[in-house]
Structure 1
Amino acid sequence: MQLVYVADPLCSWCYGFGPELTRLLERLPQAKVDLVMGGLRPYNTERMSQPFREMLASHWKHVGATSHLPFNEALIASDTFIYDTEPACRAVVVARGLFAANAFTYMKAVQTAFYRDARDVTQPEVLADIAAESGYGRDAFLELLQSDKAREATRGDFAVTQSMGIGGFPTLAVSYSKKLFLVASGFTKTDVLEERLIQIETLQAAPQAK
């Protein structure tokens, strides 16, 4: 089973959805996941306004209540923090290129660092530290992270997301016969994900059974 997961590490609903997807993969050990970075707020250069900061904090409380995951608002309370999601997306692209099977684990580590621990994952050195904690070579990871190749590959992911018409994250799809079928758009519980996958698989198998 080939799943396609379109997400942004700094999307709070993607953070909340992570444990649900992890449980699904534990139930379906044969499934593989292709990560595609969506680009929630890429290339942003402006500091957060107070109204935006308050809106974000309120949103995080909602996600936390739904997912039961911890959120730490210390970083977004800072006047100097710039909420640019491109560096974290680029780091996941680099992790995927180095060791695709570990990319989802790395992305979850970045999310935990940002949302729970308030580490500034817009900074290359922090992303490289997390990579080292996740089993990657820090220096090689940092060098790739800052390369034009990684920046171009990340823009490629954003372009793929746009070409699929996806504007919200998380989005999960499954591939059959080179076609993608939507499994979930937005936070979805594991049981529902599993039910939808069974429904899609049944529908795809039905014509062959005749």
Structure 2
Amino acid sequence: MAATLIYCYDPMCSWCWGFRPTWIKLQKALQDLIDADQLTIQPMLGGLAIDSDVAMPDDMKHKLEGTWQNIQSSLGTEFNFDFWKTAAPRRSTYPACRACYVARDTGLEEEMYHAIQEAYYLHAKNPSDLDTLMECAEHIGMNPEGFQKTMQHVKNEQLLEEEIEQARHLGLNSFPSLALLIGNTLTPIPLDYQDHSSMLNAIKKALS
């Protein structure tokens, strides 16, 4: 029976952006186990903030900008701080999460995740806006019209909310989170943002 490594994330979570290089290294290091059918990786969307058209209050903007500065100074992660001057931020990550959910059906979830992160953190575009998400969809080769229709379907059927509820049920309440599911046993994997080897060792230990 293959174990499942659950990666719980939100595409607009700045710590997920900071974790990205180490997460890529960890996935590469796990490739042998994946090829041997001992492990599968299952992304799960966390959903930081519900749908909202309300402009973000100034105190929250300053708080989040401070988080970006903290991540940049501790991890060396690149951010484009123009976002806080030029965009009209809203506290709403569900649309970006839905975009990743939609891209999953065509095997492009990771590509969508990265496209959203780069649009947001490097190009100061707002992934709370459908226009930005449609640009990302087109960028990774999806049909923008079909993408928009499926986004609406996922919203109408509350499919994202079901997945978020599942993540909460598993106790995956912070993003990013890693947990290894073997049968009915869920083992949290402590994160190391700068070195993948401790997480790799923890996964191998749990598998043995």
TM-score (norm 2): 0.86
SS at match of 2:98: helix
Matching residue within 126, 133, 144 for 1:127: 133
Q: Give the whole-Å Cα distance in 2 for the aligned partners of 1:148 and 1:25.
A: 28
Of 82-91 and 32-41, more deviation after overlay is shown by 32-41
Could you tell me which residue of structure 1 aligns to residue 63 of structure 2? Answer: 55
| Residue deviations 1:29-51 (CA, integer Å, cap 9, x gap) | 22532111111122244322222
Residue 18 of structure 1 corresponds to 20
- Aligned residue type for 2:15: W
- The residue type paired with residue 20 of structure 1 is T
Alignment match of 2:46 (pick from 34, 38, 46) = 38
Cα pair distance change 1:79/1:15, threshold 3 Å: closer
Deviation of 1:65 after TM superposition, in Å, equals 2.3
Matches within 5 A, 1:1-210: 1-29=3-31, 30=34, 31-78=39-86, 80-99=88-107, 102-148=108-154, 152-184=158-190, 187=193, 189-202=195-208
SS at match of 1:122: coil
Q: How many residues align?
A: 200
Aligned CA-pair RMSD: 2.1
Which amino acid letter does the alignment assign opposite residue 190 of structure 1? H
The residue identity in structure 2 corresponding to 1:183 is: I
Contact 1:131 1:138 in 2 (8 A): yes
Runs of 4+ in 1 over 6 A off after TM superposition: none
2:95 aligned partner, one-letter code: P
TM-score by length of 1: 0.85
Secondary structure, counterpart of 2:77 in structure 1? coil
Report the CA distance between 1:178 and its aligned residue.
4.0
Q: 1:156 to 1:63 in 2, by over 3 A?
A: same
The Cα offsets for residues 65-87 of structure 1, whole Å up to 9 and x where unpaired, read as 23322111222335732121010
**What residue identity is the alignment partner of 1:87?**
P
Gaps of 5+ in 2: none
2:75 touches 2:194 (CA, 8 Å); kept in 1?
A: no
Identity of aligned residues (%): 23
